[in-house]
Structure 1
Amino acid sequence: MSELAATVDAPGALGAGAGTGAVPAVVPQRLGDVAVPVRSVGAEDAMADVEVLFRASACTSIAVRDDGPGRVGLLTRHRFTEAMSGRLGYGRAMLTHRPAGQVTDWTPLVLDASTTVVDAARVAMARPADVRHDDVLVPGPSWSAVSTADLVSALTAAVAHRATCDPLTGLLSRPHLVAAAAHWAAQALPGTRRRLLLAAVDVVGMADLNASYGLDSGDALLRELARRVAGTAPHGAVVARLDGDAFAVLMLLPAVSEERAQEIVASVRDRVRGACDGLGAAVRVAVTASIAGWADTGLLLLEVERELRGTRSARPAPEAAALRSRR
């Protein structure tokens, strides 16, 4: 890998995640990923004591425990301030010594930490308007909460992640690879002798494997293939899922001679094929490089996909033990 890594150029400014096999930022997927610990008080604690907690600007809500019925409620800063103000401004005088349980919302939205961010946002937005923007409580060894702002931020990141990445393998999607190739073709190649190199690999008889061993085993095989293909890519390459059982690696090569470019093509082909040894299914590999200083993304994709379809590969019986182990 060291020789190849030294040959491939860095991607340049392509935007976040453009030069990797998956988006590098950690994207929150579950409510537990964004929940933060929340202070808690007893239902009989005085409002004056609760006021001390709300003096901290970071404290937006408090969990209220009612140990008798074994319930937990939510007291938000807004609800607390409204109660303490009162209709005529006498709320503080009337409530300062009263228990917090009297102004607590005892029917807050409580969701498990394993709830997806998407599902949590859907349920939270379905609440009545007066509580729609209240925090979501998350049970655990100690109570946590998720603010509306954090939930919306996590939802935005999750939606962006789904649009960018393949949900099965975590690799980037075909549109991302196409966009990266187009960017390099327009910005990095003209006036130079650099080239784009595209390597692709797919599984022989994937439909038959799914029929023989089940979709779960087929998905496990594809995840393993994606991992191996990504492992062959040098730093700066783009690794993506082209379609159902096909994956690709896009690299920007430095200015080299035609002979050297062909040596790199052969080296990448051997490296990808070698990484797939013992996978449990036969694969086909195709690698192509553009001419020096110019590339057409559509033609590169067409060339490798045509080569994949035209490759004459024997179809040995699948390694049943290897496939069954992925169930």
Structure 2
Amino acid sequence: MNKKPFSEGFILVTNSDTEEDEDENQNEIQNQNQNQNQNENQNQNQNEIQIQIQNQNQNQIQNENENENENENENQNENEIQIQNQNGNEIENENENLLDSQEKNQLINSTKETPAERGKFKDLFSNKYGVRRTTLLFFFIWMTSTFVYYGMIFLTPLFFGSKSSNTFMLSLIAGGAEIPGIILGIFIIESLGRKKSMAYLWIGVCIASFVCGFAKNIVVSAIAIMVARAFVLATFDIVLIITAELFPTPIRAVALGSCTAVSCISGILSPFLPYMISQESNTTIFIYSGISLASFIACLLIPKDTKNEQLPDGKSSKEIQK
């Protein structure tokens, strides 16, 4: 009777132990599961962190690559711009050189004249340029300027020799009057103009020669001949300028050279007049006075004054005489 309770108690004890063991096992399993879950979570977090780090690294690499690409593109663009600028500068330089060469060629071609376009002596009297009257007037003015100027130079010692013994000193004083004549021509050519200046100077030569022929006093005669020589030299300088300005461009050199040649012929003849009538020096003075008056009239007949005017590069006298 006593064994039965003991066995039952043993069984109860055993069952309770097993239950406790099962609970412990379950707890251990749960703990293990929790640990596993924690480990998995940790691993997952680590993986996520690694992925984030990788992504960051990739982003950095991409950014670096993008920056490198941008820098390369910028460098490439800069190089292209530099190349374009260099090419542009080269093109501009080539264009400038081309323009310069074209301008030079145009200038060379414009300055070249064919033989048919060059002025000839016969053109001074033809209707091609319409300067026949101007040519004749200037031939006459150049001839009278040279004739009267050199004639008075040769006449001075003869004239004073018949009235005074001090011929050398009086001739020297009369010759020195030519310097004020040059200065006078410089001042009046721009103030009065070429045409009026020559006209006034020639009438001055006419009056001075006339006074010199009638004067009885040697001082008055000396002053008169000094004035005449000064004025005629001033007209000589002015006629040189107006001749170059009044004729058209193609025949300007021909006209100037022809006038000079005509004046040289007149200069050759001028010394003979004083010696041919050396006994009548007053008569010679009056001849020069008459020639001066004729030159005064010729100056008034000049077509145009070129004062303060720009010279046209034309081939017709109509452009100059407007």
Larger-Rg structure: 2
TM-score by length of 2: 0.23
Q: Which has the higher helix share?
A: 2
TM-score by length of 1: 0.23
Q: Which has the higher strand share?
A: 1
